[in-house]
Amino acid sequence: MQRMVGVEAPHFEMKTVDGAGENFGKVSLNDYKGKWLVMFFWPLDFTFVCPTEITGFNRKIDEFKKMGAEVLGVSTDSEHSHKAWINTAPDQGGLGQLEFPLASDMTQKVARDYGVLVEEEGIALRGLFIIDPNGVLKYSVVHDLNVGRSVDETLRVLQGLQSGGLCPIDWQPGDAPLNV
């Protein structure tokens, strides 16, 4: 996989459903110019670990918004599958209402461009990307399908990136940056 962090994020255009599970739309990287974007991929709708992550991001959406960041969830499922998942109650394996859109990468182009596509299965690994307001990819983490991500760690990294300073191991918001 080629180096991606520190360079312009790969462009994307995808179909979406809004977090209310009502309206279809489209989204592109250009829609996020001037904003921070936290974009995360999950393998499949109606699975087990994925809804814990998606609803976890949703519970912290106000913190992301206070930091000037938008959140976008992506999988290789259709926008219709996303809509059905949002409109299914959580106690029945659904998501319920969200405060951010879910995008459909049925062509698998975006997952491939971001280096998270499992070609033989047509699904995405758990990839998470933070893109700055200028469209530069600042953070990338990709891992196995069985382990969910930490929303708190994503917030910490976003705050560190926004601080503009050198943030040492275990840096927390409010901590002094390194002075060199």
10 Å CB burial of residue 48 (0-12, 13-18, 19+) is: exposed
CA dist 158 → 19, 36, 122, 131 (Å): 22, 9, 29, 10
Q: Give one word for 17, left, alpha or beta, with left for phi > 0 and alpha for psi -120 to 50.
A: beta
pLDDT attached to residue 178: 84
Band the pLDDT of 2: cuts 50, 70, 90. Answer: low
Instruction: Give which of 128, 59, 140, 47 is closest to 94, Cα–Cα.
Output: 47
What was the pLDDT predicted at 71?
98
Q: How much of the chain is in helix, strand and coil states, percent to nearest 5?
A: 25, 25, 50
Confidence (pLDDT) at 117: 96
At the topology level, CATH places domain 13-163 in Glutaredoxin (3.40.30)
Per-residue pLDDT at 46: 92
For the chain, give every domain's residue range: 13-163
In the chain, the amino acid numbered 38 is V
pLDDT 10s digits, 142-159 = 988 888 889 999 999 999
The active-site residue, picked from 14, 39, 50, 131, is 50
Question: Is 167 assigned a catalytic role?
Answer: no
Which comes out higher in pLDDT, residue 46 or 171? 46
Give the whole-number percent of the chain exceeding pLDDT 70.
98
Across the range 55-68, mean pLDDT stands at: 97
Q: For 71-111, write each residue's pLDDT tens digit.
A: 999 999 999 999 999 999 999 999 999 999 999 999 999 99
One-letter amino acid at 120 equals E
**What pLDDT does residue 3 have?**
63
Taking a C-beta distance cutoff of 8 angstroms, is the pair 99, 108 a contact? Answer: no
Q: With contact defined as beta carbons under 8 Å apart, do 156 and 69 qualify?
A: no
